Structure 1
Amino acid sequence: MNSTTRQQALDAMAGTTPENPLDVLVVGGGVVGAAAAFDASTRGLQVGLVEARDLAQGTSSRSSKLVHGGLRYLQMLDFKLVAEALRERNLLMTRTAPHLVKGLPFVFPFEHRLADRAFIGSGVTLYDGLSTAASALGNGLKSVFSGAGRAPLHRHMSRKGLQKRFAGLDHDKFIGALEYFDAQVDDARLVMTLARSAASLGAHVAVRTEVTEYLRSDRDGEEIVGVVVRDRETGAEHRVYARETIMAAGVWTGDQEKLAHAEAQDGTGPALKVLASKGIHITVPKDRIPAQGHVGVITQTDKSVLFIIPMGEYWSVGTTDTAWHEAVDVPAPNASDIDYVLEHANAVLETDLTHDDVIGTWAGLRPLLQPVDADEASSSKVSREHTVMRMAPGLSAVAGGKLTTYRSMAQDAVDFAIAERHRDRSSLTEHLPLLGAQGYGEWAERADDIAAGYNLAPKTVQRLLGRYGSLLSEVLELIDQRPELGEPVPGAAGYLGAEYVYAARCEGAVHLEDLLERRTRLFHEVRDRGLEASEHVAALVAAEIGWDEAQTEYELRAYASYVEAHRAAERAATDAEAAELMRAVLPAQQVLETS
């Protein structure tokens, strides 16, 4: 995917007619929308995907970046959701995306010797049992944790064992721990890979393409037969016709519902109400929290869950769970959010973290289904299960759920949408690996040879394999053609020049922010948020994306403004103040006005 294929996708969708429509049009390029486009494409359908901003620019790049069953949902007795999530976790790790989804052990520290071991231990025992049963139902998938067909079972640790495993914890406070296993993922890369996988099967994928109107049939005025989209890069508008449109808008569901006027004539028609709950994370240097090997920490706070998650050369620490009442386009951590995370992290760590330790932050909005009588103040108690609903003839919507269950959500959405027309077209996503997964094992076995042949550090090759899988061959081809692309970009935390060129050429990046915040995570990994690297990256990709000198200068200014606004939001006292600061740079992020 690149600027050329984006225009080709727009042209193809603009060429549809009421007599020759797409089979399925997906509105929304988050994880569920991208997965729905992939799912529909595996069924041999003609598919389009439009996203108003960049792939995963909303919630789907701002999660805890975990693929997990969700221990907290066991407390809510939501066994169905946990079992489904564990099955999807195991499927991702073993078949569909083993290059992107990696096992991660967690320690759950104990303060009370008997009560905690009994209560938490029983919960994790059930968790292990559900995981084993889920794998058995999934055709006996072989686990990558071990060769035994399942993840290792949890184990208990003494105080001494915990101190050896995770020295950074407060060992005067904790008398031991339990270690269990889940997985982690670069959420933005997962979404981008899903979209590329859909495109590889013929789907038309167009980012920076905003739905401005839903088209209704001339016959009865009720059936949705397509949409009007606006190209946010040029301002051009196009009509796109589709037999079925799937709204996968996450926290934007309410806005899209209003735009579609999907309610019945008497105003009592179906509607999905989605509550936006904000979760924030901070990043701190890896050496600030000593631990043995690749291991994370999970514990409960008074309002949420505390995760300390290893991510390369830094730790991600979060999260919060607070109702968000501002525009959903502009979530940002404020000062009290950061204070909350630091306070709860310091309650479990041996050495306190300070604001000076914070490298970066992000905030995401969880799309939680809102029961009619739910209290917005209790957002953490709203179920994460998803719902698919018919909004009007020809238009359905999917909402709720969680990152881990994206595949089953997408399958349900497509099944529902095409039930009347294509009941015989079954999904293949349970069996079809994403791009980069096929042949990944063989490439992983060659890691040492790749490191030697390209003069790369072994950890760099492992990082590359975790980003590209077997598609690493395409990145290495760039280095073969231009050896200088095998060098790290100055100020870019070890990312190679080839990675940015590849992102512009093959991964659909349109703006500089796409490259520094989602195709790579530099915005969260270095203290200057990528400002030093931005000029080098812009020079590398300008010709690939088609930027002239004026556009390149604009991209640099827009990114610098975005960084400045985000830093100011981190010092704001309230959500309203933080949102206002981010709103001021929103147009600059999204579109270069033509003159």
Structure 2
Amino acid sequence: MSFSADDVVNLDFSDGRRTEIINKLKITDFDVVIIGGGITGAGVARDAIYRGLNVALIEKDDFAEGTSSRSSKLLHGGIRYLKTYELKLVEEATKERNWERDEALPHIVRPLQFITPVFGEKKDHRTGKALPPSSNDLNTLKIGLDMYDGLCNNQNYRPGEIIDDPRKIAEMEPEFNTDQLIGAGLFYDTNMDDARIVIETIKECVASGKCTALNYLKVIDFVHNNDGLVKGLKVVENDKFTPKSKHDPFIIKGNVVVNCTGIWVDHVLGTSGKEKITRPTKGIHFTIKIDDFKINHAFGISNIDDHRFFFILPREHWILVGTTDTFYDESLDKPVATQEDIDYLRHTVELLFPNAKIDNSYILGTYAGLRPLVVEPGKSESEISRKHICLEREDGLFTLVGGKFTTFRLMAADLMRKYILKSKKVDITRNNTITINKSKNIAKIPYKIALKHDEFEASEQFKAAKGIIDPFILDHLYIEFGKGALQIIEKILQDPNLGTCLLEDPDYPPKYFPWVKAEIIYIIQHEIPRHLNDVLCRRTEICWLVDPSKQRKIAESTTEVMGEMLDWDKKRKKAEIEFYLSYIKANSVFYKGEI
């Protein structure tokens, strides 16, 4: 199998091809059919196509619409899992993080230095309450940092270190409250954009010619052969705006069917009560402009109320605060951040960063995600392991669930090599008519779209754009699109109007609003968004990085571009805008103005 970066960058993968894609799904007998278009399903698809298998990937909503766009947006080794002696998990995750940072997707995966403070006993000046000292002392923390580096063969971006002089921490972070600070540990993990990794993974699979992928396609039943084995799916279009309209179900045939539906996995399996294999927990985040919350490093801190670990993360020009970790039993499709969730995080942040502007009037957006944790009776939310499990049901249906975003490639390889290739019920080789590469690291190769920063700056496109395109916009395009950015820059240079930001507002210069018309066009042509939400919540992160008061104007300008390219009439445009704004309203409990 041979394909190139040009095949990915120029991929004709728009919603205008939907009928053609559905027809292909109807007539092909696939080697593997995957249910679920998050990072787990995308990872299984990428592993399978590099083994030479023909794959179908379907998703009931948009790709990455669930947990895979609502994480803490880190690829990390899980330093806190050292406390529970999950050394194998940490070893695997740190090594995968290094590969993702250095080779797989170096434009999306960016090194990020963390500070983990160690305090002595202190007092909360707001309440007079005595706060216990940190659970780790500096010696214990040093052991942990040494292990964190050692488990990945000391290949982290920089080695961890201990600082035992609080004055040095104060110099590094002038806004940090160092009262009763003993010292801190410094270590590296990485920022990433979760939904974009999912999209790039699916695009690479489709560009290979070995994968047919489609969003908004819902499974309504399994198809079994005469031996009672699953050999396909009965599906129907999941139309967001005309749910009562007639869509004829159709069959997708497949030799192997894999359930990668995350928090919906028990729904797909039909398990309930004590038979459930997952227990969802909710995690929320909120965002602030970095000018309102001035920090230079990420922080990993313990909540002063219940000692749960959470993050304060600089992401270019924004600060992301999260996450909570609470068991969740409500609607799986519509988790939202409550005021109580926000206040829980803010109570600790305000003590440690007293000058930060993080009251409700400064919050830009929130989001809530659900983690599909594997059931471990008797354990609290934060104690449950992030391990993954693979299952094969009696009818040959395979399931992959749990795990960490960071280890998605290993999870896929584990499913394929230890379960599908060794199955006694399902013959993936079709009586040895298919030769399958069984290598563990078959997919451990750089993404075709990958672009290192020195390569970007050496490109003719970057050189031509310097002094013409705002540097904040150039940096943004590089991070989000890799080699795709080169095509977007070329379009802007050919037609400067395409470099116009979707929002022109003095409160949102390119530093805080780098999204331009040209990238929306690129997204529509190559990343199959079907709805406005797909563009503003997953292909980009505009929905939680811009104040709710600005969202209608953004929705209108983006809808004009999408409507022209996807042939939307006036009624459809209005429906798209109002649906998007209803999402903004539901996730803006902090905002009391008009949207």
> Do Structure 1 and Structure 2 share a fold, with TM-score over 0.5?
yes
Distance in 2, matches of 1:303 and 1:10, equals 50
Assess, with a 3 A threshold, how the Cα gap between structure 1 residues 568 and 111 changes in structure 2: closer, same or farther: closer
Tell me, what secondary structure is at the counterpart of 2:538?
Answer: helix
Q: Does residue 198 of structure 1 match 2:205? A: yes
Distance in 1, matches of 2:590 and 2:292, equals 25
1:537 is matched with: 558
Instruction: Find 1:511's aligned residue among 510, 531, 535.
Output: 531
Q: Does residue 297 of structure 1 match 2:299? A: yes
Which amino acid counterpart does residue 77 of structure 1 have in structure 2? Answer: Y
Which amino acid counterpart does residue 317 of structure 1 have in structure 2? Answer: V
Instruction: Find 1:375's aligned residue among 358, 373, 378.
Output: 378
Deviations along 1:124-182, one digit per CA (max 9) or x if unpaired, are 1111111226x5xxxxxxx7x3xxxxx33334252121112122211224243221111
Shift of residue 96, structure 1, vs aligned partner: 1.1
1:562 is matched with: 583
Percent identity among equivalent residues? Answer: 29
Deviations along 1:12-54, one digit per CA (max 9) or x if unpaired, are 11113xxxx2000010000010111111111111100000001
Further displaced range: 326-335 or 415-424: 415-424
Q: Does residue 189 of structure 1 match 2:166? A: no
Distance in 2, matches of 1:49 and 1:384, equals 24
Tell me, what secondary structure is at the counterpart of 1:280?
Answer: strand
Q: Does residue 406 of structure 1 match 2:413? A: no
TM alignment of 1:200-239, pairs within 5 A: 200-202=207-209, 203-217=211-225, 219-220=226-227, 222-233=228-239, 235-239=247-251
Instruction: Find 1:240's aligned residue among 231, 252, 255.
Output: 252
Assess, with a 3 A threshold, how the Cα gap between structure 1 residues 516 and 231 changes in structure 2: closer, same or farther: same
1:578 is matched with: none
Shift of residue 291, structure 1, vs aligned partner: 2.6
Task: Could you tell me which runs of 5 or more consecutive residues in structure 1 were left unpaired when the two chains were aligned.
Answer: 136-142, 146-150, 572-595
Assess, with a 3 A threshold, how the Cα gap between structure 1 residues 34 and 546 changes in structure 2: closer, same or farther: farther
Deviations along 1:258-297, one digit per CA (max 9) or x if unpaired, are 1xx8x9xxx99xx6611101111111121222234xx211
Shift of residue 553, structure 1, vs aligned partner: 1.5
Shift of residue 250, structure 1, vs aligned partner: 0.5
Q: Does residue 358 of structure 1 match 2:363? A: yes
Deviations along 1:370-413, one digit per CA (max 9) or x if unpaired, are 03xx037x122111110111023331000110111111111222
1:477 is matched with: 490
Query: Taking structure 2 as the reference length, what is the TM-score of the superposition?
Result: 0.85
Tell me, what secondary structure is at the counterpart of 2:295?
Answer: coil
Which amino acid counterpart does residue 160 of structure 1 have in structure 2? Answer: R
2:444 is matched with: 431
Assess, with a 3 A threshold, how the Cα gap between structure 1 residues 441 and 49 changes in structure 2: closer, same or farther: farther
User: Which has a greater percent of helix?
Assistant: 1
Deviations along 1:395-451, one digit per CA (max 9) or x if unpaired, are 100011011111111122233224443484235554322231167642243499447
Instruction: Find 2:277's aligned residue among 256, 269, 273.
Output: 273
Shift of residue 569, structure 1, vs aligned partner: 9.0
Tell me, what secondary structure is at the counterpart of 2:236?
Answer: strand
Distance in 1, matches of 2:180 and 2:353, equals 9
Further displaced range: 34-43 or 53-62: 34-43
Shift of residue 227, structure 1, vs aligned partner: 0.4
Tell me, what secondary structure is at the counterpart of 1:57?
Answer: coil
Query: Taking structure 1 as the reference length, what is the TM-score of the superposition?
Result: 0.85
Deviations along 1:81-109, one digit per CA (max 9) or x if unpaired, are 00010011011011111111111000111
Q: Does residue 417 of structure 1 match 2:438? A: no
Distance in 1, matches of 2:438 and 2:284, equals 38
Distance in 1, matches of 2:467 and 2:205, equals 31
Distance in 1, matches of 2:541 and 2:446, equals 24
Tell me, what secondary structure is at the counterpart of 2:403?
Answer: coil
What is the total number of aligned residue pairs between the two structures? 538
Instruction: Find 2:316's aligned residue among 308, 312, 319.
Output: 312
Q: Does residue 125 of structure 1 match 2:133? A: no
Assess, with a 3 A threshold, how the Cα gap between structure 1 residues 328 and 303 changes in structure 2: closer, same or farther: farther
Tell me, what secondary structure is at the counterpart of 1:488?
Answer: coil
Distance in 2, matches of 1:439 and 1:361, equals 31
Which amino acid counterpart does residue 457 of structure 1 have in structure 2? Answer: D
Which amino acid counterpart does residue 397 of structure 1 have in structure 2? Answer: T
Q: Does residue 95 of structure 1 match 2:103? A: yes
Shift of residue 216, structure 1, vs aligned partner: 1.1
Tell me, what secondary structure is at the counterpart of 1:281?
Answer: strand
Distance in 2, matches of 1:351 and 1:391, equals 55
2:184 is matched with: 177
Contact 2:117 2:184 survives alignment (8 Å): yes
Q: Does residue 44 of structure 1 match 2:52? A: yes
Contact 1:369 1:382 survives alignment (8 Å): yes
Assess, with a 3 A threshold, how the Cα gap between structure 1 residues 184 and 275 changes in structure 2: closer, same or farther: same
Assess, with a 3 A threshold, how the Cα gap between structure 1 residues 569 and 227 changes in structure 2: closer, same or farther: farther
Contact 1:447 1:461 survives alignment (8 Å): no
Q: Does residue 522 of structure 1 match 2:534? A: no
Which amino acid counterpart does residue 7 of structure 1 have in structure 2? Answer: T
Shift of residue 184, structure 1, vs aligned partner: 1.2
Contact 2:462 2:486 survives alignment (8 Å): no
Tell me, what secondary structure is at the counterpart of 1:363?
Answer: strand
Instruction: Find 2:477's aligned residue among 464, 467, 472.
Output: 464
Task: Could you tell me which runs of 5 or more consecutive residues in structure 2 were left unpaired when the two chains were aligned.
Answer: 1-12, 121-132, 240-245, 430-434
Question: Superposition RMSD on alpha carbons, in Å?
Answer: 2.5
Which amino acid counterpart does residue 220 of structure 2 have in structure 1? Answer: T
Assess, with a 3 A threshold, how the Cα gap between structure 1 residues 438 and 526 changes in structure 2: closer, same or farther: closer
Assess, with a 3 A threshold, how the Cα gap between structure 1 residues 313 and 570 changes in structure 2: closer, same or farther: same
Which amino acid counterpart does residue 443 of structure 1 have in structure 2? Answer: F
Further displaced range: 42-51 or 449-458: 449-458
